C-alpha cells in the first residue's frame, strides 16, 4: 500500500517536473522588421527600353510626400525580390542611414534575368557609337531607366545615384559611360571589371574554386527565355565536404562536364560532344585565352570618357577574394583618363561586401581588425557621399578625401589626396639563398623544388566545400611554409615599421623541366611570438607567429608575355616571369618579419596545370599531367611600393 502510494506520488512529482520544465522552455520569436513597410510605398513597373524590351523595376517611395527625394538605384542579375507590391524588403538602399533619412530606392532586374524580358548576356559588351535603337547594352538600359524614373516617379528631385556590390557594382560602373544627365553619383563597389582577371580567372588561371558558381550565370531560363520569379538554376552538388580531394580525384577539367548537363529524360537536348547545356561553362572551355570575346566584355578599357557630371566613389576590400582587380583598376582608369572628375576610392579591411554588413567586430577569416569599421564607413563615408551629390551642393568639396584607406597592419584609417600617396617610393628586395629576403642582391644560384601534380599545394588547410572562397585571404600560411614545394624568403625581425602602400611587382627568374607551369607569389606578415590571440581564431591556431597573407597572386606561365597569345616554356631555360600583385596598404610593424612564399600549385583555388603545354587546359588529358622540377633563381626580386 505504502509502496503504491510512493510510486503514485513519485509519478505525480515527475509529471509536475516535466510540465514545469516544459513551461520554462522558451520559443524564440524573431521580430519582423517592418520599418520599410511602415514608411515606404512599393510599386512594381515594367519599364520599356528603346528596343521594346521591358525591364522589371521595383520602386520604394517614402510615404511622407511633403518633400522631394533623390532616386538611388541598383541594377542586379540576382533578383529585385520579394515580388508583389504587398511584399517588402526589411532593408533598402545602400545602408540604414540612407533608408531612414528618406530616399526613393529602386531595384531593377537586368535584361534577361528574373522578371525582366530579353536575353541575358554574361558581362554584356559595351557598344560605343550606337547607330540604332536595336543596339543596346547595360549603358543604354540604365539611361532609359533613369529617363523613365525622373519623368514618372512622383516627388523626385531630379537627382539620381546608383550603387551596387560585385555584379551590381559592375552595372554601377556601366552607368557612368554615356551617363544620363540626371545621374549625379555612382558608387561601384567590389565591381567586376573583366572576367579574365576577376572572379573566374586570375591572370589567365581558371579559379576552380568558383566552379559551383558557374550555373548561376550560365543556366538558360526555361520556357523560351520567359521571365520567371523563382530560381531556375541549381548549384552543382558535390558529393563530399572535401573539395581538395574531390577535384584531385576528378582529374582533368573535361571530366566535370556532366555537372552542366541540365536536360531531363522528358526533355532531352541534342548537342555536340563536349558541349554542355551551360553556356558560361561552354565559354570558359572554348575561350581559354584572352581573345576577342573576353576583351569585348571587359569594362575597364571603356572608362576613358566617364561623364564629369557623375561623381564616382569606388569601394573595395583589401581582402576581397572575388573582386579586387575590378575596383582598383576602375578607380585607376577613371583617374587616369578623366582629369577633373570627382573620383575617389575607399578601401578597408573587408572581404567581399564586408562594408555593407552591420557587425560590430570586423573580422576576415581568423583575423580581427577592429570594431565598428563597417558602421563608420556606412555613416561617415557612404551616406556623406550620396547626400552631398544628391541632396546638397554637389560640388567638388564633399568633405571626403581622394583616398580613404585602412592600414591593415596598424589597423587605422588614413586619408590621402592621391593614391598611391605622394611620399610612396619603389623598394626592391631580393630572393636570396638560405631563405633570405634581402635589400641587396647576393650570389646568383638556383633553388629547386619538385611540383607533384598528385600532391598540389592546398590554398587552405581547412577541409571544406564552398560556393566561392573568401576566408583564405587572411589565412595563416604556416601550413604552406612547412612544405618542400613552397619556397620561403624572409627578412630579419623588423627594427622599424615598413608600410606597403600600392602595387607589388614580382620579377621572377625561373626555369622548369616541363613546358608549362603556374607561378604563385604570396606576401606575408609574420607576427611575433607574443602576439595575442583574438576570440575569432580557429581552435587549432594561435596568433603567436601567425603568418598573415597580405597579398597573393598567380600567373599562368603561358601568359607571361601575352594573355592573348600563350606560349610554352623551353625546358630548363632561364625565363623572366613578371607578376603584378594588386595594391595593398599594410604596415609590417616593428618586431614582425616580411616573408615571401613562391609555389606553383594552389589547389583547388586554381585548376591544376598539366605542366606539359597543351593548347587548351580545359581539354587536357590525364596523360598530359606530369610532375616537374622548377627552379627559382636568386636574381629574382620583388618591387614594393612603400611609404618613405
Quick check: 610 pLDDT over 70? yes
pLDDT of 7:
40
Q: Which residue has the cell 572581404?
A: 351
Q: E strands, 278-434, where?
A: 311-317, 343-348, 361-364, 367-371, 403-407, 412-416, 424-432
- Which residues, listed in sequence order, are joined to residue 116 by a DSSP beta bridge? none
C-alpha–C-alpha distance, residues 527 and 232, integer Å: 47
User: Residue 249: CA atoms inside 13 Å, Cβ hemisphere, count?
Assistant: 8
pLDDT of 271:
58
Quick check: 9 pLDDT over 90? no
Q: Residue 475: name the closest of 522, 435, 532 by CA.
A: 522
Q: Does residue 171 contact residue 122 with C-beta atoms inside 8 Å? A: no
Which whole number is the average pLDDT over 445-462?
A: 98
C-alpha–C-alpha distance, residues 554 and 9, integer Å: 74
434 Rama class: left (phi>0) / alpha (psi -120 to 50) / beta: left
Kindly state the cell numbers that stand for 628. 616537374
pLDDT of 272:
67
Kindly state the cell numbers that stand for 428. 626592391
Q: Does residue 175 contact residue 186 with C-beta atoms inside 8 Å? A: yes
Centroid of chain to Cα 305? 25
3 state DSSP class of 247: helix
pLDDT of 263:
67
Quick check: 8 pLDDT over 80? no
Q: Which residue has the cell 646568383?
A: 444
C-alpha–C-alpha distance, residues 49 and 483, integer Å: 57
Q: Radius of gyration over alpha carbons of the chain, in Å?
A: 27
Quick check: 433 pLDDT over 90? yes
pLDDT of 26:
53
3 state DSSP class of 85: coil
Quick check: 562 pLDDT over 50? yes
C-alpha–C-alpha distance, residues 58 and 78, integer Å: 14
Which tens digit of pLDDT belongs to each residue from 277-298? 999 999 999 999 999 999 999 9
pLDDT of 267:
47
The total of other beta-carbon atoms located within 10 Å of residue 495's CB is 8
The total of other beta-carbon atoms located within 10 Å of residue 558's CB is 26
Quick check: 30 pLDDT over 90? no
Which tens digit of pLDDT belongs to each residue from 170-179? 999 999 999 9
Centroid of chain to Cα 355? 13
Provide the angle, in degrees to the nearest 10, between the axes of the packed helices 167-175 and 325-337: 10
What residues have CB less than 8 Å from 607, skipping those under 6 apart? 205, 206, 207, 208, 253, 617
Q: Does residue 61 contact residue 152 with C-beta atoms inside 8 Å? A: no
Percent of the chain scored above 90 by pLDDT? 91
Which tens digit of pLDDT belongs to each residue from 224-268? 999 999 999 999 999 999 999 999 999 999 999 999 998 644 445
Distances (CA, A) of 271 to 59, 255, 268, 277, 311: 42, 17, 10, 8, 48
To the nearest 5 percent, what fractions of the chain are helix, strand and coil? Answer: 25, 30, 45
Provide the angle, in degrees to the nearest 10, between the axes of the packed helices 138-152 and 167-175: 70
Distances (CA, A) of 339 to 193, 225, 333, 404, 422: 21, 43, 11, 19, 18
Quick check: 21 pLDDT over 50? no
Element (H, E) at 530: none
Averaged pLDDT score across all residues of the chain: 94
Task: Name which of 4-13, 287-296, 494-503, 586-595 the model is least confident about.
Answer: 4-13
CA dihedral 176, 182, 184, 190 (to 10 degrees): -40
What residues have CB less than 8 Å from 512, skipping those under 6 apart? 557, 569, 571, 572, 611, 628, 629, 630, 631
pLDDT of 276:
87
Percent of the chain scored above 70 by pLDDT? 93
Amino acid at each position: 500500500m505504502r509502496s503504491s502510494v510512493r510510486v503514485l506520488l513519485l509519478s505525480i512529482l515527475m509529471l509536475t517536473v516535466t510540465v514545469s520544465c516544459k513551461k520554462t522552455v522558451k520559443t524564440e520569436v524573431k521580430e519582423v522588421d517592418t520599418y520599410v513597410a511602415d514608411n515606404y510605398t512599393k510599386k512594381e513597373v515594367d519599364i520599356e527600353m528603346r528596343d521594346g524590351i521591358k525591364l522589371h523595376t521595383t520602386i520604394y517611395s517614402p510615404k511622407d510626400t511633403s518633400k522631394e527625394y533623390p532616386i538611388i538605384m541598383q541594377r542586379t542579375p540576382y533578383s529585385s525580390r520579394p515580388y508583389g507590391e504587398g511584399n517588402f524588403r526589411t532593408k533598402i538602399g545602400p545602408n540604414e542611414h540612407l533608408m531612414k533619412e528618406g530616399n526613393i530606392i529602386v531595384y531593377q532586374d537586368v535584361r534577361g534575368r528574373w522578371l525582366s524580358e530579353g536575353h541575358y548576356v554574361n558581362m554584356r559588351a559595351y557598344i560605343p557609337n550606337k547607330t540604332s535603337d536595336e543596339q543596346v547594352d547595360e549603358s543604354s538600359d540604365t539611361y532609359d531607366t533613369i529617363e523613365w524614373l525622373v519623368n514618372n516617379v512622383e516627388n523626385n528631385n531630379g537627382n539620381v545615384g546608383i550603387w551596387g556590390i560585385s555584379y551590381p557594382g559592375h552595372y554601377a560602373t556601366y552607368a557612368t559611360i554615356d551617363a544620363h544627365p540626371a545621374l549625379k553619383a555612382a558608387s561601384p563597389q567590389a565591381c567586376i571589371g573583366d572576367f579574365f582577371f576577376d572572379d573566374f580567372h586570375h591572370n589567365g588561371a581558371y579559379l576552380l574554386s568558383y566552379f559551383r558558381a558557374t550555373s548561376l550565370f550560365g543556366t538558360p531560363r526555361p520556357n523560351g527565355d520567359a521571365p520567371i520569379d523563382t530560381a531556375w538554376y541549381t548549384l552543382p552538388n558535390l558529393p563530399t565536404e572535401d573539395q581538395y580531394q574531390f577535384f584531385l580525384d576528378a582529374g582533368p577539367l573535361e571530366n566535370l562536364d556532366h555537372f552542366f548537363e541540365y536536360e531531363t529524360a522528358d526533355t532531352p537536348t541534342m548537342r555536340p560532344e563536349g558541349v554542355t547545356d551551360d553556356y558560361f561553362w561552354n565559354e570558359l572551355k572554348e575561350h581559354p585565352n584572352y581573345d576577342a570575346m573576353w576583351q569585348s566584355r571587359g569594362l575597364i578599357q571603356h572608362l576613358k570618357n566617364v561623364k564629369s557630371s557623375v561623381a564616382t566613389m569606388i569601394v573595395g576590400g583589401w581582402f576581397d577574394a572575388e573582386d579586387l582587380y575590378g575596383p582598383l583598376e576602375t578607380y585607376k582608369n577613371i583617374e587616369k583618363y578623366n582629369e577633373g572628375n570627382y573620383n575617389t576610392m575607399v578601401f578597408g579591411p573587408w572581404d567581399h561586401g564586408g562594408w555593407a554588413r552591420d557587425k560590430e567586430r570586423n573580422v576576415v577569416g581568423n583575423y580581427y581588425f577592429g570594431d565598428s569599421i563597417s558602421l563608420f564607413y556606412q555613416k561617415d563615408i557612404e551616406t556623406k557621399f550620396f547626400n552631398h551629390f544628391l541632396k546638397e551642393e554637389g560640388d567638388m568639396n564633399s568633405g571626403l578625401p581622394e583616398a580613404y584607406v585602412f592600414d591593415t597592419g596598424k589597423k587605422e584609417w588614413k586619408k590621402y589626396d592621391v593614391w598611391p600617396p605622394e611620399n610612396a617610393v619603389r623598394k626592391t628586395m631580393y630572393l636570396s639563398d638560405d631563405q633570405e629576403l634581402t635589400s641587396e642582391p647576393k650570389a646568383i644560384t638556383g633553388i629547386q623544388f619538385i611540383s607533384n601534380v598528385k600532391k598540389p599545394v592546398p590554398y587552405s588547410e581547412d577541409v571544406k566545400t564552398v560556393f566561392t572562397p573568401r576566408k583564405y585571404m587572411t589565412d595563416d600560411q604556416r601550413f604552406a611554409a612547412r612544405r618542400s614545394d613552397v619556397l620561403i624568403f624572409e627578412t630579419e625581425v623588423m627594427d622599424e615599421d615598413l608600410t606597403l602602400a600600392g602595387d607589388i611587382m614580382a620579377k621572377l627568374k625561373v626555369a622548369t623541366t616541363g613546358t608549362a607551369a603556374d607561378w604563385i607569389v604570396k606576401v606575408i606578415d609574420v607576427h611575433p611570438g607574443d602576439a595575442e590571440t583574438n576570440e575569432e581564431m580557429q581552435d587549432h591556431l594561435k596568433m603567436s607567429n601567425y603568418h598573415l597573407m597580405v597579398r597573393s597572386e598567380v600567373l599562368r606561365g603561358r601568359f607571361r608575355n601575352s594573355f592573348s597569345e600563350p606560349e610554352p616554356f623551353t625546358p630548363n631555360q632561364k625565363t623572366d616571369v613578371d607578376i603584378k600583385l594588386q595594391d595593398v596598404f599594410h604596415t609590417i610593424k616593428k618586431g614582425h618579419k616580411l616573408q615571401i612564399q613562391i609555389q606553383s600549385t594552389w589547389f583547388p583555388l586554381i585548376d591544376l596545370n598539366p605542366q606539359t603545354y597543351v593548347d587548351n587546359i580545359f581539354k587536357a588529358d590525364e596523360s598530359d599531367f606530369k610532375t616537374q622540377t622548377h627552379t627559382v633563381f636568386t636574381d629574382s626580386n620583388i618591387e614594393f611600393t612603400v611609404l618613405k
